[in-house]
Structure 1
Amino acid sequence: MVIALEYLSIRSADDLMVLGDEWNALARRCPGCLLSQTHRWAEVAWQVIARPRGRKLAGVALRSEGRLVAVWPLVAYRELGARIVRPLGPEATEYCAPLVEPGADHDAWLLALWQAAIRHSDIVMLPYLPVGSALSVLLHRQTRPVFASATSQAIWVAHGDYPSWKSYESSVSAQHRAELRRKRRRLADHGCVSFSELGMDQAVGLVDWILDHKRRWLGRRKLANAWLQRSDYRDFLVALASSPLPLGRIGLFVLTLDGVLVAAQFNIVDGTRVESLIATYDERYSRFSVGNIINEECLRWALERGLDYDFRLGDQSFKLVWARRRRDIASFQVLTGACGWPLFLFLHAKAAVKRARFKLGLGRFVPARLRARLGQPSSTDR
């Protein structure tokens, strides 16, 4: 028997708000649901990021037999005459994934959601989509023009690979562990070293500290990062961390020396994982490897609670010391309407220029500001 689907459009703030309870219930039925797939994340992103930028809500949802089974919060805007649709969010580095209930009808619901999402678009932007996910598989089955403008890897530790913290710890290089113990002792010679999690009432001060030190770190290395410089991204982080969330929470982890902040992580904590969204440290203490010390503490915190630890985008060496698992991440542009051809070709050409430039080894001679305009991803997780 074919069960009819009820299609819901999310075109206004009221449309978004009214789905809150159903959306949360759907999220609870989806093992591995990301915090960035939740209603609260979308609500804050709309209020703080998308609406002030003039974006229009363009989300879609599905009900089957009266039950919400899929939801995809999206926004639309125009560029070079094309109507672009992209996920609703802070437009930084969050993973791209519609929320679809698992089960025998999952793929059919995902296809229906995709077809509804592209109906009034010229280009669909899908940044940071995990390769091999159901949506990426669906894209490769499409006959529409698709290209990946950027690729990266996410590095992570699966708690299921290790029966205990001790077994995980023994998997890390003995040389690295010995060196880190030595750095801990040296740091402790200067005062009391403490690792802790701050409460929501301290979120504003910590977010400002993290962003300030991250921007300084990037500036000294002449690295560009547009979203870390935006005041609305700061406001988004503060709004998420300053109030209770129906699903998941923000983990504000700090390393202090005699009560003075020396390193911090702004992490996303959900039912299955910890995502290290932003990590930074005070470079005056870099000789003590405080960034690695807080990495170890956060890893221990996650694994002892049965949670994976996701270092997120980038295969920097400091991550590979701790983690062996990798997953490919790609940002896709999909041509869905005739008016999108000029912008689609422009984006394709820009990506080709970027790839050619770095194949020739010229990337290091290009100024950071121009690198950002050409779309080179810059490292923000340390």
Structure 2
Amino acid sequence: MDAAVRSLTSLDIPRADKPDTPHLTSAAGAADVELALISDRKAFDALEDEWNALFERAGKSIHVFQTFNFCWHWASHYLADTSANAGTKLSIVTGRRNGRLIMIWPLVSERTHGVTQTFWLGEPVAQYGDALVDPEPDAEAILRAGLAFARRHVASDVLRLRRVRADANVAGLFADAGASIADRQIAPYMDLSSAKDFAAFEERFSSRARRNRRRLARRLEEKGPIEFVRLHGGVNAGDLAADAIAVKAEWLKDRGLVSNALSDQRTTSLFADLAAGREKPVPCVVSALKSNGEIAAYEVSFTCKGRLVIHVMAFKLDFEKAGVGVLLLEQNLKQGFVENLATYDMMAPGDPYKLDWCDKSEAVVDWVMPTSLRGFLYARVYLGFLRPRLKSALKAIPQPLRRILRNVAAA
């Protein structure tokens, strides 16, 4: 058997002295299920057809980041440079019954600052994490077996599984498994299926809000013609997506903030490839609003089984007070009805501007499960105590001072 694939047919076994050694016993509540750990890129690539078949059978609209193609693009960018990512490796748990792939936990492990963390494959780009599982009568037991297998056989100090929706397949597993909550957020969304068209949908907004958007459009038109662009793949879409990342990073810089993900060149190149859709396409929508020929605002989104998730919203600082982001979102909502989208998902966090549009939301939780003493200390001291206080302290700093401190740190 390939050393990168270690199989198991059990859940209730003691932690092994040598995790690479296979162990066989009966699986409690998940009989005849063979579990395996995939850490090799070739073994991951070989899953393509089976992964796609499982997704067609069991994937939900919330699993936009668990498609094989999305994960493949992520691996091609974030695992490509082995020298820079020597501590990063695939840790995918699969489950088979009678040889058929019925479960996937898409995980990856990375060692930084002396601690090995296991997180959802796709981080930091993926925004929702979940495992795929066939709708078997014992699906929950199969998922529990997969989680237990990961805890025993992935060489990790802590499982840090972020942004698990309340309606995710795995949402009910972690509390019973002794996991702790590192963060709680909400993911606001709009239910487009609740209205026959945009005109009917717009009635839920106040007359004041509708008048305000018309006023913004008139003022922008005074500067020159307005043009909306909406692309589904292609070179131009890839270029626009890369520009959107740069504009978003500039917006954060202006506010004295920094995003490690957006400042990573791999993120820019990944978004460009996803948007262009040249190989193993992922349904990506790139839109822009132009004012007098100049791009003023961007939106990069992904679609899956009737759901659109807005991943990047950005506008140029010169247009900050022109409401270009609002106008672009309004136009895209109209297109959402044209394209028969059922859900317009603005994802976590539940920022006030999102709640102005959305009247529904889903709880999203970050779960932490230490598997070693080092991981326990990391989870308790850093994730549980220091990190939230540092984030709160940063938010409390006035924006001009944040900008100065950021510029000093970057110098």
User: Smaller-chain TM-score range?
Assistant: 0.7 to 0.9
Deviation at 1:79, TM superposition (A): 4.3
- 1:231 equivalenced with 2:265 (yes/no): yes
- 1:169 equivalenced with 2:202 (yes/no): yes
What is the rounded CA distance, in whole Å, between the counterparts of 1:90 and 1:239 in structure 2? 16
What is the rounded CA distance, in whole Å, between the counterparts of 2:172 and 2:293 in structure 1? 49
**1:1-382 to 2 correspondences below 5 Å:** 3-30=31-58, 31-32=60-61, 34-52=63-81, 53-54=85-86, 55-79=88-112, 81-92=114-125, 94-120=127-153, 121-131=156-166, 133-142=168-177, 144=178, 146-198=179-231, 199-244=233-278, 248-304=282-338, 305-347=340-382, 348-351=384-387, 353-354=389-390, 363-364=396-397
What is the rounded CA distance, in whole Å, between the counterparts of 1:204 and 1:178 in structure 2? 34
Aligned length: 367
Deviation at 1:319, TM superposition (A): 1.3
- Aligned-partner residue type, residue 202 of structure 1: N
Q: Deviations over 1:174-204 (max 9, x none)?
A: 1011111111122223332222213421134
What is the rounded CA distance, in whole Å, between the counterparts of 1:253 and 1:128 in structure 2? 25
Residues 124/311 of structure 1: CA separation in 2 closer, same or farther (3 Å cut): same
Any gaps of 5 or more consecutive residues in structure 1?
Answer: 373-382
Structure 2 length normalisation: TM-score? 0.81
- Aligned-partner residue type, residue 310 of structure 2: S
Tell whether the 8 Å contact from 1:215 to 1:228 is kept in structure 2 after alignment. Answer: yes
What is the rounded CA distance, in whole Å, between the counterparts of 1:332 and 1:102 in structure 2? 24
- Aligned-partner residue type, residue 42 of structure 1: C
Q: Deviations over 1:26-69 (max 9, x none)?
A: 11112325221011111121121145322021111112233211
- Aligned-partner residue type, residue 131 of structure 1: A
What is the rounded CA distance, in whole Å, between the counterparts of 1:235 and 1:190 in structure 2? 33
Residues 147/354 of structure 1: CA separation in 2 closer, same or farther (3 Å cut): farther
- Aligned-partner residue type, residue 370 of structure 2: L
Tell whether the 8 Å contact from 1:248 to 1:271 is kept in structure 2 after alignment. Answer: no
Tell whether the 8 Å contact from 1:80 to 1:343 is kept in structure 2 after alignment. Answer: no
Deviation at 1:7, TM superposition (A): 1.9
Secondary structure of the equivalent of 1:137?
A: coil
What is the rounded CA distance, in whole Å, between the counterparts of 1:109 and 1:152 in structure 2? 28
RMSD value, Cα: 2.7
Residues 195/314 of structure 1: CA separation in 2 closer, same or farther (3 Å cut): same
What is the rounded CA distance, in whole Å, between the counterparts of 2:51 and 2:197 in structure 1? 35
What is the rounded CA distance, in whole Å, between the counterparts of 1:62 and 1:44 in structure 2? 23
What is the rounded CA distance, in whole Å, between the counterparts of 1:352 and 1:263 in structure 2? 31
What is the rounded CA distance, in whole Å, between the counterparts of 1:252 and 1:241 in structure 2? 7
Tell whether the 8 Å contact from 2:185 to 2:364 is kept in structure 1 after alignment. Answer: yes
What is the rounded CA distance, in whole Å, between the counterparts of 2:355 and 2:75 in structure 1? 35
Any gaps of 5 or more consecutive residues in structure 2?
Answer: 1-28, 407-411
Secondary structure of the equivalent of 2:61?
A: coil
Deviation at 1:234, TM superposition (A): 0.8
Structure with bigger helix share is 1
What is the rounded CA distance, in whole Å, between the counterparts of 2:306 and 2:359 in structure 1? 18
Deviation at 1:362, TM superposition (A): 7.8
What is the rounded CA distance, in whole Å, between the counterparts of 1:253 and 1:194 in structure 2? 11
Determine which structure has greater relative contact order: mean sequence separation of CA pairs < 8 Å that are 6+ residues apart, divided by chain length: 1
Q: Kindly, what percent of the aligned residue pairs are identical?
A: 22
What is the rounded CA distance, in whole Å, between the counterparts of 1:84 and 1:318 in structure 2? 33
Tell whether the 8 Å contact from 2:69 to 2:282 is kept in structure 1 after alignment. Answer: no
Deviation at 1:257, TM superposition (A): 2.7
Secondary structure of the equivalent of 1:314?
A: coil
Deviation at 1:89, TM superposition (A): 1.1
What is the rounded CA distance, in whole Å, between the counterparts of 1:319 and 1:327 in structure 2? 13
Residues 300/218 of structure 1: CA separation in 2 closer, same or farther (3 Å cut): same
Q: Deviations over 1:214-249 (max 9, x none)?
A: 122111111222211111111111121222576751
Residues 19/294 of structure 1: CA separation in 2 closer, same or farther (3 Å cut): same
Deviation at 1:153, TM superposition (A): 1.6
Secondary structure of the equivalent of 1:112?
A: helix
Tell whether the 8 Å contact from 1:268 to 1:274 is kept in structure 2 after alignment. Answer: yes
Deviation at 1:275, TM superposition (A): 0.6
Residues 103/188 of structure 1: CA separation in 2 closer, same or farther (3 Å cut): farther
Secondary structure of the equivalent of 2:257?
A: coil
Q: Deviations over 1:129-149 (max 9, x none)?
A: 12353423110112x3x3222
Q: Deviations over 1:260-284 (max 9, x none)?
A: 3121101111112111100111232
Secondary structure of the equivalent of 2:262?
A: helix
Bigger radius of gyration among the two? 2
Structure 1 length normalisation: TM-score? 0.87
- Aligned-partner residue type, residue 129 of structure 1: V
